[in-house]
């Protein structure tokens, strides 16, 4: 291997070591950290963010990257790694270390304030911290620069090369096609789901969730599951990928979907090449592609009748009294009920996209300065009435329900819808290429699908961008038609439309 490229690899892995060390502290903050640890934890994360930024912006790295960018002896993968790292370097140079440290500290403090505000149903606890964070994110847009819309600078961090105007077109499809179909469903008799809300023992739920993760192919020697208030996946390498779940003893939906969803994210991270640790070729492509993996497992697999024809009897063994007179078809109907709801993470797979649309419109308005933080509760409630015809009873069930803004993750929410739309397109292609895929799922054999995802998506790291990957796999760019075809076929049958 080229000696300059070897030096580059060593340098990038050093940066990754610092970033993943901060990741461990973040994971601990959201799972096990005692409440008195908050102040020093914010300081610790700020210090590590500053160190990582200093490493990522050193002149010696820039010199090395610019030299390697002109080196014709590199392989195609090596050239792509250098191009991506040079892009990141130039972006990082736009930040000062002081700004990075201030942003990190503000995020830690805002997260703690969000936790308290949600627990006390009091937006005012959160508002002062969020105001400061929004001001920093607006400043970040100016630091990074943009040509059309300030929100573009934030979207690019999660879904590279995607513009606000593209998302506006996509969400216009949601409004013009999905809204009308959901109205048709609403006119039909609703399926029964009362048995989903009986008392389901926490420990038994936990054990069933572990069973499902193992069936999916999640490697517990390279990960673990814990409890958190907001389920998430985090990784410190492809050989240490951790998931969390949330359990409600009076609603079995929460555990099932958080386990399968986060398991899908984790399988992607575990499938990235360990040999490429710290390099773009060992990283996920974008959050839209990442979300495609969780949504494919959660919806296209986990909410399918084939999946439950195999797994329902297992669930019944854990909860015979609750499910004694229920069939797998009954359970399938219950888990796929479509109706407006307050909470995004508990929403059905169709109205879910109205929740994302609301957040997209709010974020865009916040970054534009058309609304301010103090306006958020009333603006949020108005949007929920407009799109879902729901009255929001409290801030904890409304504007405080999501953790994302407290993490500074503005520009993140649209990737949830992008992920579902990519998932439908990828799963459609998988069914064409994997012989009898749905029959294999019905037998509990998920290996053919996981192997297909490993081969077509996971192993490539960041070699392709999202659009290139979609075209490589399916022969075309992201097309909303695949999601609508999937939705209409499935729900027309469920609701006799």
d(Cα 112, Cα 132) in Å, to the nearest integer?
14
List the one residue out of 454, 235, 238, 427 whose CA is nearest residue 349. Answer: 427
Strand partners, 241: 223, 235
Question: Is residue 76 among the annotated active site residues?
Answer: no
d(Cα 395, Cα 120) in Å, to the nearest integer?
10
Chain centre to alpha carbon of residue 199: 29
DSSP assignment letter at 404: G
3 state SS of 231: coil
Q: Cβ(284)–Cβ(463) under 8 Å?
A: no
d(Cα 441, Cα 305) in Å, to the nearest integer?
10
The catalytic position among 262, 269, 291, 298 is 262
Q: What order do you get walking across the sheet with 223-227 strand by strand?
A: 223-227, 240-245, 233-237
Question: Roughly what angle, to the nearest 10 degrees, separates helices 447-456 and 252-271?
Answer: 50
Q: How many residues are recorded in the chain? A: 497
List the one residue out of 468, 460, 491, 454 whose CA is nearest residue 422. Answer: 468
Tell how strand 223-227 and strand 240-245 pair up.
parallel
Angle at the Cα of 298 from the Cα atoms of 292 and 303, rounded to 5 degrees: 130
The H or E element that residue 208 is part of is helix 202-216
**Alpha carbon of 341 to those of 157, 355, 389: distances in Å?**
30, 9, 9
Give the catalytic positions in this structure.
262
């Amino acid at each position: 291997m080229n000696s300059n490229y070897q030096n580059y690899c060593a340098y990038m892995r050093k940066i990754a070591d610092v970033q993943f060390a901060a990741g461990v502290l973040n994971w601990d903050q959201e799972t096990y950290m005692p409440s008195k640890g908050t102040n020093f934890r914010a300081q610790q994360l700020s210090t590590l963010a500053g160190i990582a930024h200093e490493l990522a912006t050193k002149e010696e790295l820039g010199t090395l990257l610019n030299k390697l960018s002109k080196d014709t002896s590199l392989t195609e993968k090596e050239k792509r790694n250098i191009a991506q790292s040079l892009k990141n370097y130039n972006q990082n140079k736009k930040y000062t270390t002081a700004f990075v440290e201030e942003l990190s500290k503000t995020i830690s403090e805002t997260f703690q304030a969000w936790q308290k505000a949600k627990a006390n149903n009091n937006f005012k606890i959160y508002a002062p911290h969020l105001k400061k964070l929004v001001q920093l994110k607006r400043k970040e847009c100016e630091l990074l620069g943009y040509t059309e819309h300030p929100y573009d600078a934030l979207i690019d961090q999660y879904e590279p090369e995607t513009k606000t105007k593209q998302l506006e077109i996509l969400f216009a499809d949601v409004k013009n096609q999905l809204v009308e179909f959901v109205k048709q469903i609403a006119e039909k008799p609703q399926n029964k789901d009362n048995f989903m809300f009986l008392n389901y023992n926490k420990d038994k739920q936990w054990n069933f969730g572990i069973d499902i993760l193992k069936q999916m192919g999640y490697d517990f020697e390279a990960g673990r599951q814990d409890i958190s208030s907001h389920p998430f996946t985090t990784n410190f390498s492809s050989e240490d990928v951790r998931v969390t779940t949330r359990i409600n003893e009076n609603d079995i939906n929460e555990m099932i979907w958080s386990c399968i969803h986060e398991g899908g994210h984790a399988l992607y991270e575990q499938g990235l090449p360990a040999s490429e640790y710290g390099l773009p070729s060992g990283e996920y492509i974008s959050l839209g592609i990442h979300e495609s993996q969780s949504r494919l497992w959660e919806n296209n697999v986990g909410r399918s009748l084939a999946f439950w024809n195999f797994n329902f009897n297992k669930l019944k063994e854990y909860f015979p009294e609750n499910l004694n007179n229920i069939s797998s078809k009954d359970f399938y109907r219950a888990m796929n009920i479509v109706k407006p709801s307050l909470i995004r993470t508990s929403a059905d797979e169709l109205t879910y996209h109205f929740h994302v649309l609301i957040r997209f419109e709010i974020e865009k308005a916040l970054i534009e300065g058309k609304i301010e933080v103090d306006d958020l509760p009333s603006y949020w409630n108005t949007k929920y009435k407009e799109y879902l015809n729901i009255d929001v009873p409290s801030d904890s069930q409304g504007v405080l329900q999501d953790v994302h803004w407290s993490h500074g993750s503005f520009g993140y929410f649209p990737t949830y819808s992008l992920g579902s739309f990519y998932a439908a397109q990828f799963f459609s292609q998988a069914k064409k290429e994997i012989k009898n895929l749905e029959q294999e799922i019905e037998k509990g054999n998920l290996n053919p699908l996981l192997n297909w995802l490993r081969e077509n998506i996971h192993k490539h790291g960041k070699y392709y961008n999202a659009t290139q990957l979609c075209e490589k796999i399916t022969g075309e760019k992201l097309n909303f038609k695949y999601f609508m075809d999937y939705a209409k076929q499935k729900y027309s049958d469920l609701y006799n439309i």
